[in-house]
Amino acid sequence: MANVAVVGAQWGDEGKGKIVDWLSSRADVVVRFQGGHNAGHTLVINGVEYKLSLLPSGVVRQSKLSVIGNGVVFDPWAFIREVNAIKDKGVSVTPENLIVAENVPLILPVHSALDKAREEAKGAGKIGTTGRGIGPAYEDKVARRAIRLCDLTDEAVLVEKVDALLAHHNALFRALGAPEMTPADILDPLREIAPQVLPYAAVVWKQLDELRRAGKRILFEGAQGTMLDIDHGTYPYVTSSNTVAGNAAAGSGMGPRAVGYVLGICKAYTTRVGSGPFPTELKDEIGELIGQKGKEFGVVTGRKRRCGWFDAVMVRQAVKTGGIDGIALTKLDVLDGFDEIKVCVGYRLDGKELDYYPSNAGAQARVEPIYETFEGWKDTTRGARSWAELPAQAVKYVRHIEELIQAPVALLSTSPERDDTILMTDPFAD
Ligand code: IMP
């Protein structure tokens, strides 16, 4: 049985929500393996809108098991808020259909405070984080001082770990001129939330192993995108986890063979939120128009997204570094009506041509895109459900993208509606 991992192939916000929802309707288990409540998915099911940040998309379908894996950073308060919001819409969420790895590291108030204080201190050089404490929580995980969900069951261990954590963080707060925290600032809210979250704690790796052996279909739901990957992205303007599908296994406690098919999601153009290099960015009226037509505002922070042409070099790099088998191309309809459409097919750097995106931050900021220009199409692609319904030029554009990125388009999404999808390859097929 092929399990599927869905990952973003650009800078996040590629339209994963709709695709993940469609795939999760066909999966038995949906697993988040990295990131935290910095992600933002909007799902519309039977006319009801659900906004998810931390919970796996399967949670709105009660018959699925939703899993938060150990690779996630877990904010217990955000978790309970989101669970309650879903319950308020009439969806049953219980430890029977939602489980959280007991070894998941926690995001604490200290982390979002540090995230914000650091960003303020950086001024113009800020990363543009979501301010949710994601980076500081991952730092504590790697530095081996994180409080993990399982620590909430042991008061003595918890008190000791909070003291060690604060010895580190208060030194940072002092340096940043930010207020220090007392153990009670951490322990009191943790003691209060513990009885609400602990029922969801589970030995996730073991349950996933049993489910896999029982032939259940598992969907690994990635957050953010390859260009925000801590290793493969536009470092340091990245998130703090590996967003590539290779992390689906480690981030959930399964072996590498657990992931069968890797579906990368990308838009027919490019967007990015926050700071950092963006070679094909359009700071003109075309960029504005793409943003308006594509409704490019962040789900989590409401920030306006930066917009630009499709960067085939970058997506090809995401295909290679992420082992992407096929692409789901979204928002093609946003390009309807343009006289011409450009695609980046290489970069120019200091007089030389490059067929990849360099790692050095200075070079990343300096590269100039080499464009191929396509004739646009006047008819609409919106709502098309078969190739035959697409304008010839649009088909040409998609086919050329496939060649450039060296991966087939497995799925083409032509509107936010679930059924407005052209399926070429079924990712769950054996
Ligand atoms: P952090 O993940 O909050 O640390 O933010 C680091 C960078 O990743 C910033 O540029 C954010 O805007 C970006 N980012 C984090 N989550 C998402 C997402 O779900 N979509 C798009 N960008 C994101």
For 143-206, the DSSP string reads TT---BGGGGG-HHHHHHHHHHHHHHHHHHHHHHTPPP--HHHHHHHHHHHHHHHGGGEE-HHH
pLDDT in tens, 230-281: 999 999 999 999 999 999 999 999 999 999 999 999 999 999 998 999 999 9
Place of tokens 């984080």: 129
Task: Note whether 98 and 120 are same-domain residues.
Answer: no
What CATH number is given to the structural domain containing 411? 3.90.170.10
Confirm whether residue 54 is marked as ligand binding.
Answer: no
Q: What is the mean pLDDT of residues 399-427?
A: 92
Distances (CA, A) of 287 to 189, 296, 313: 44, 11, 19
For residue 228, give the ligand 1 atom closest to its CA: 8
Q: Report whether pLDDT(300) > 80.
A: no
Give the chain's mean pLDDT: 94
The protein residue with its alpha carbon nearest to ligand 1, atom 21, reads: 12
Q: Is 1 helix (H, G, I), strand (E, B) or coil?
A: coil
Residue after which a domain boundary falls, among 197, 219, 239: 197
Task: Note whether 150 and 78 are same-domain residues.
Answer: no
Asked if residue 304 is part of any domain, the answer here is yes
Distances (CA, A) of 346 to 12, 41, 280, 370, 400: 21, 31, 11, 5, 14
Q: What is the mean pLDDT of residues 405-428?
A: 91
What CATH number is given to the structural domain containing 116? 1.10.300.10
In eight-state DSSP terms, residue 293 is: H
Between CA 64 and CA 46 the distance in angstroms is 17
Regarding the beta carbon of 128 and ligand 1, being less than 6 Å apart is answered: yes
pLDDT in tens, 34-43: 999 998 888 8
Q: Measuring CA to CA, which residue among 315, 346, 344 is closest to residue 408?
A: 315
Asked if residue 229 is part of any domain, the answer here is yes
How many distinct structural domains can be found in the chain?
Answer: 3
Q: Is 79 helix (H, G, I), strand (E, B) or coil?
A: helix
Task: Note whether 399 and 291 are same-domain residues.
Answer: yes
Q: What is the mean pLDDT of residues 149-154?
A: 98
Q: Report whether pLDDT(409) > 70.
A: yes
Q: Report whether pLDDT(1) > 70.
A: no
Q: Report whether pLDDT(16) > 70.
A: yes
Task: Note whether 279 and 393 are same-domain residues.
Answer: yes
pLDDT at 122 (0 to 100): 87
pLDDT at 430 (0 to 100): 62
Task: Note whether 76 and 170 are same-domain residues.
Answer: no
Residue after which a domain boundary falls, among 261, 278, 307: 261
Asked if residue 165 is part of any domain, the answer here is yes
pLDDT at 46 (0 to 100): 79
Between CA 406 and CA 345 the distance in angstroms is 12
Strands 41-45 and 29-32, how do they pair?
unpaired
Residue after which a domain boundary falls, among 245, 261, 277: 261
Task: Note whether 300 and 417 are same-domain residues.
Answer: yes
Task: Note whether 21 and 92 are same-domain residues.
Answer: yes
Asked if residue 315 is part of any domain, the answer here is yes
Task: Note whether 349 and 215 are same-domain residues.
Answer: no
- Is 13 catalytic? The answer is yes
Ligand 1 centre from 224 Cα, in Å?
7
Q: For the chain, give me the number of helices (H) and strands (E)?
A: 12, 18
Q: Measuring CA to CA, which residue among 213, 316, 266 is closest to residue 3?
A: 213
Q: At 48, is the pLDDT very low, low, confident or very high (cuts 50, 70, 90)?
A: confident
Contact between residue 80 and residue 37 where contact means Cβ atoms under 8 Å apart: no
Asked if residue 144 is part of any domain, the answer here is yes
Task: Note whether 256 and 300 are same-domain residues.
Answer: no
- Is 293 catalytic? The answer is no
Task: Note whether 414 and 373 are same-domain residues.
Answer: yes
Ligand 1 centre from 374 Cα, in Å?
31
Q: What is the mean pLDDT of residues 53-62?
A: 92
Task: Note whether 83 and 113 are same-domain residues.
Answer: no
Ligand 1 centre from 16 Cα, in Å?
15
Q: What is the mean pLDDT of residues 1-21?
A: 91
Q: What percent of the chain has pLDDT over 70?
A: 100
- Is 352 catalytic? The answer is no
What CATH number is given to the structural domain containing 225? 3.40.440.10
Q: What is the mean pLDDT of residues 195-202?
A: 98
Asked if residue 429 is part of any domain, the answer here is no
pTM: 0.95
The protein residue with its alpha carbon nearest to ligand 1, atom 2, reads: 239
Q: What is the mean pLDDT of residues 161-181?
A: 93
pLDDT at 39 (0 to 100): 87
pLDDT at 121 (0 to 100): 86
Task: Note whether 81 and 230 are same-domain residues.
Answer: yes
Asked if residue 33 is part of any domain, the answer here is yes
Q: Can you give the residue range of the structural domain that contains 234?
A: 4-104+200-261
Asked if residue 411 is part of any domain, the answer here is yes
pLDDT top residue among 420 and 227: 227
pLDDT at 49 (0 to 100): 86
